[in-house]
Amino acid sequence: MPKVKNKIIKKVQEKKAKVAGVPELINEPIKSNKKTPQLVRGFKDILPSEQKYFRFIGNRLESLAQDYGFEKIDPPILEETSLFSRAVGKETDIVSKEMFSFETPGGERVSLRPEATASVVRAYINHGMLNLPQPVKLYYTGPMFRYERPQSGRYRQFSQFGFEILGDKHPVLDAQLIILANNFFQEIGLKTSVQINSIGCAVCRKEYKTQLVNYYKTQKANLCVDCKERLYKNPLRLLDCKEEKCSIIKEEAPQIVDWLCDECKNHFVKVLEFLDEVQLPYNLNPSLVRGLDYYTNTVFEIWPEGEEKKSQSALCGGGRYDNLIELLGGRPTPALGVSVGIERTILKLKELNIEIPDREKRDIFVAQLGEAARKKCLPLYESLRKEGIRVAENFSKDGLKAQLEIAGKLGVRYSLILGQKELSEGTILLRDMEAGVQETLNFNKVIKEVKKRLENQ
């Protein structure tokens, strides 16, 4: 049975490829015979049909970075394991369960990066960016790796883009970062809700943790297995548990905002006031604690509107990490950042059928009939391209019908057609694809004529 299904899928692929002229591959890989290597679980090919989404998001990212004054940084994908255990935290799920770590032949313990903030901070310290005018505003994009249980919206390799602001503690920056991230989703057509909380500084959080643990100890018998462990290893994460019985217990738990010291409270109030100034709605979410240990004060996530309850629904997350630079050996320096999950954003765009602009449109298609015509069309294509005309072709095809079908698919305005007759007469046909009419042009004047028509349309 699977063999028959595979055959049918293959036929559909072949048919699509014939019509489009470009490989329109189906995203779910066909299970082929055992000799063919398969994808590693949780990993994906990003096929040609997916690329327009990545291009679209990449373009939006570049324009946001320009508007808000961020410079690009490309940290490596592989880092010393200790960078993440120190920055993200030994007891976090990311470090304790989800890293792809191994030893190099030279004996170094390294990990594929599960996130990029730690790398940006390392680079900031390594390259003496502390001595540049502050804040230093950096952005990045690329793959991250986490050994999580794969499911929709959760992969073992996924892409993020992110913005980090290092060297300034003003609350206006917290608000501006949230505005920036929210603008990204608004501008690509997604409706979202901003979730925000403050988890205070080391001092007030310590006091709060004691209260939290005391409360949860009274409920210990009713907690899930993971939460029983969290109670001792990472109590803040108790608030993050999605198990129903733990959610009920959470409702009565002490809230951190009631335990913030004056400085942390003032900072948080100012962030909220700035958000109010731009009338950005937010949800004060007392159980938002984030899964990485480096945060201080403001934390936030942006969720798709109406999806507040799903655990893997956050489109982006971020916050302040005022102690991280010092923790990694730099001088005390406040900082904050946000990272957006690109695949999750794409899933949402697709779910809502939001139109994404395709590749830059082509204006003209060059079609040829026969080997002699092909030889003339190859340099003609190059000349048209050099003149800045957006031109397409499919020179390996023989039949005119197949070529014009491709031209139609690409939505070009004109096709140039060179056959035996035109070759011998020194002419070429120009077909208006919309009107379906053709005229004969002098081959030597074709570039000038095409330009004239494209300018007048």
State both tokens at 315. Answer: 């489109």
Toward ligand HAM, which CB reaches closer, 120 or 377?
Answer: 120
Q: Which of 173, 164, 174, 169 is nearest to 298 (CA)?
A: 174
User: Measured from the CB atom, is 7 or 242 closer to ligand HAM?
Assistant: 242
Output 69 or 105, the one with its CB closest to ligand HAM: 69
Q: Which is nearer to ligand HAM, 330 or 337 (CB)?
A: 337
Residue 320 · residue 300 · CB < 8 Å: no
Tell me which residue has its CB nearest to ligand HAM. Answer: 341
Q: Is 138 left (phi over 0), alpha (psi -120 to 50) or beta?
A: beta
Collect all residues with Cβ–Cβ distance below 8 Å to 159 and sequence separation of at least 6: 54, 141, 142, 143, 144, 341, 342, 343
Rg of the chain over all Cα atoms, to the nearest angstrom: 28
**Closest CB to ligand HAM among 321 and 414?**
321
Between CA 306 and CA 286 the distance in angstroms is 18
Q: Which residues of 376-392 are buried (b: 16+ CB within 10 A; e: fewer)?
A: bbeebbeebeeeebebb
Shortest spacing between CB 457 and ligand HAM, in angstroms:
42
Shortest distance, CB of residue 50 to ligand HAM, whole angstroms? 14
CA-closest candidate to residue 307, choices 351, 271, 272, 255: 351
Nearest distance, CB of residue 109 and ligand HAM, angstroms: 21
Kindly tell me which of 200 and 319 has the beta carbon lying closer to ligand HAM: 319
User: From CA 157, how far away is CA 145, in angstroms rounded?
Assistant: 5
CB of 148 to ligand HAM, least distance (A): 5
Q: Shortest gap between Cβ of 300 and ligand HAM (angstroms)?
A: 9
Contact between residue 294 and residue 323 where contact means Cβ atoms under 8 Å apart: yes
Cβ proximity to ligand HAM, 154 vs 270, nearer residue: 154
User: Least CB distance from residue 343 to ligand HAM, whole Å?
Assistant: 5
Pairing of strands 414-418, 364-368: parallel
Closest to ligand HAM by CB, 158 vs 184, is: 158
CA-to-CA distance for 122 and 101, rounded, in angstroms? Answer: 18
Of 256 and 292, the one with the shorter C-beta distance to ligand HAM is 292
What's the closest the beta carbon of residue 44 comes to ligand HAM, in angstroms? 10
CB of 237 to ligand HAM, least distance (A): 13
291, 92 Cβ separation under 8 angstroms:
yes
CB of 315 to ligand HAM, least distance (A): 5
Least distance to ligand HAM from the beta carbon of 243, Å? 20
- Asked if residue 394 lies in contact with residue 17, where contact means CB atoms within 8 angstroms, the answer is no
Report the nearest approach of ligand HAM to the CB of residue 49 (Å).
Answer: 19
The length of the chain is: 457
Binding site for ligand HAM (CB under 6 A): 115, 117, 146, 148, 153-155, 158, 160, 162, 164, 291-292, 314-319, 337-339, 341, 343-344
Output 316 or 412, the one with its CB closest to ligand HAM: 316
Considering the complex, state which of residue 124 and residue 158 has its C-beta at the smaller distance from ligand HAM. Answer: 158
- Residue 153 region by backbone torsions, left for phi larger than 0, else alpha for psi between -120 and 50, else beta: left
